[in-house]
Structure 1
Amino acid sequence: MSTWREDLDTSSEMFSLMQSIFANVSDAILVVDRDGLIVKVNAALEQMTGWTEKELVGIKHICELCLGMATCMEETSCADCFFKQVQMPSFEMRLRTRDGRDYPVAASSARLPDGANGELVMVIRDMSAQQRAEKERYQHKLTNYAIAAQEEERKRIARELHDGVGQALYSILVGLNVVGQGHLSDPIRQHVNDLLQMTSKAMEEVKRMALELRPSALDDLGLLPALRSLMKRVEKSFDIQVELHVQGERRRYSAAMETALYRIVQEAMTNTAKYAKASQLGIVFEDREKEVVVTIVDDGVGFEVEKALHTGKGLGIFGMKERAQLLGGTVDIRSAPDEGTTVIVRIPVSKEET
């Protein structure tokens, strides 16, 4: 049997241990009496709320810090919770800080078994980082869905332009050619010829729009053929020399990856062609087994990247970065006035594709 001195030593050791845990644990802890008055707090709670122990203990009521509690079953006000002596093993609450802010926390509460005044101990954990992460995951999914839906809509419209409007214009062109072969007066023949030219231009415009919306080569042949087709169109439209160098294995990637890379390169090339006043544009496509790296370099006038981002002129840059981030990749843009622009795209290759 243990002696009373051994029992006392054990109790002292346990008390010291509990005091050490209370003081050093990373979770915030506070103790309130049966009326909800705060009687003890630890350093973590002081740091979390901005209140000091002297400002809280014996002065503040728990309801001055708590903006209401919620469990998976119901919501209740802080006052109701303590007036009814509610104990909850797990709940969420909004915690008010000294500077007037409030943020979500996860908490649990229990009555102290030997508390003469029915003290309630609450353990509180900051949930703001978790909620931010959940919000980011939700936004990631939402953006991914929006981009996928946009690409499907682009594909549908491009197909309708090609199969519907394009075919109708072709039929008109054939009919005008037939009419032009008949016996016509000079004014009528000239009018038919004018209509033929207008129809041909309209067909070219419909074809261009369909390609811009969704090039069929991207779905049928893959990323590199689609990029080469894009290069030819840019060279023809903007009088700029474009070169593509491919290093590594040439293969098909996932539809999401090919679409993202195509759109990013398309945006970079369009920006160069429209704004950079460049004469040359080089693209290096590298398949490095675990990632694909695409580098786009021009000899244009360059620009201040940060300034473009902060003045609202960098929407294209945001779009490029967002597409890459959705696939776990990055877009790094390096530029300065009179020094050209370099865009480096890195997107990891999934295990299914290796």
Structure 2
Amino acid sequence: MEELTGVRAGKRSFYPAYVTSIERLERVIHALDRISRALVRTVEGQESLVRSTVRAAADHLTAEYVLFAVADHALPEAEPRYTVVGPGGRLLSTEDPLPGFLRSCLKEMTDGTLRFDVVETEQPGHHLRVPVRLDSEIVGGLLVWTDRKRTIDATDEAVLRILASQSVVALHNTSLHRRGERVQQALLVARQREVIDGERHRIARELHDSVTQSVLSAGMQIELCRTDAESPELAERLGIAKNLTRGAVDQLRSVIHALNHEAGGEHSSLPELLEQLTSVHLPADLAVELRIGGQPVGLPATAEHALFRICGEALFNSAVHGHARRAMIALSYRADRVTLSVSDDGSGEPEVLRRVLRVAGGQDLDGAHRGLANMQARARELGGTLGVRRSRIGGVKIQATLPIGAGPAGTTPGAAHA
């Protein structure tokens, strides 16, 4: 017996002590195994980590109650703030009734006033309070209550202290990991925005230095030809061509303004952008009025950009194709949608334009009607609709309706120009 176990067989007390020691060692090994399996839950998120921690403590001590809580002043990103396992290893929710002694300890722990050097005198050997420390500061606690059949010894206390200290480190690392992911995502978005801004400015320069100058030169040549034209019919046609080039220049300037707008600066709201559109980027002989209905709300950048471009295209059509002298922009906010309408007093025919939109589904359009099809495409891409009807002031009314929340989540409201 002595050779096999190291315990002399001469005294009856040696073997029971040996068995007790082996059982304690097995419990510790099992507990450390549970701790290691609990800590690998870091990658699964904080809630899974905390639940595994509490259940490992409850399993080791066959405890009636185990409470793990974080103080209100510490680890602001930790979630959940506390976890409780009750009789039978059942995870208790916030709706479950808690015993008075447990509620009292929980309140003191979250307030940061719980004393860890004092254990309830009515439960000696059956209640343990282990402080959770981070950088020598107590940030929470792990509390255990066992029944009368299970006494907490020094080995159990050492195991729980290991569990508590390693768990808070893992919890802190999880918070740092999540924070790092958010920072990395923000850097990625900033980098993408930088690339997009660079490309936008490059396109704006190209439009200004080449296309706009060419259109202006063409307009000047048309004016010279119109002055020298002997035929009234030819002069009239050249006048129309001159107006078209002037409208093209106005449209190009509007696009250049949108492309050059600083994406990193303060964004104008959609009503402000439309106000700028009416006063700066349209032909001087088109009088435009803007009306806002409802309570303006921030929209995703894609939605505001789409409405801004639809409005610009509709006003351009009113001035150039409809020969309108007056236009009205109405922007209406509702709980679930936003509606933009552009009405004019021009010569356009709603039925003709509706027929163009129907044909747009077959992609059988020439360049003269591509702007109308683009407006419809912008609305449909965001789950909205585009309609054409007779306006109250005699011409055409273009109306676009988008659902509130259109566009990818997380985009910055008010960035219609981005």
Give the shorter-chain TM-score range: 0.3 to 0.5
Higher relative contact order (CA 8 A, sep 6+): 2
Q: Which has the higher strand share?
A: 1
**Larger radius of gyration between Structure 1 and Structure 2:** 2
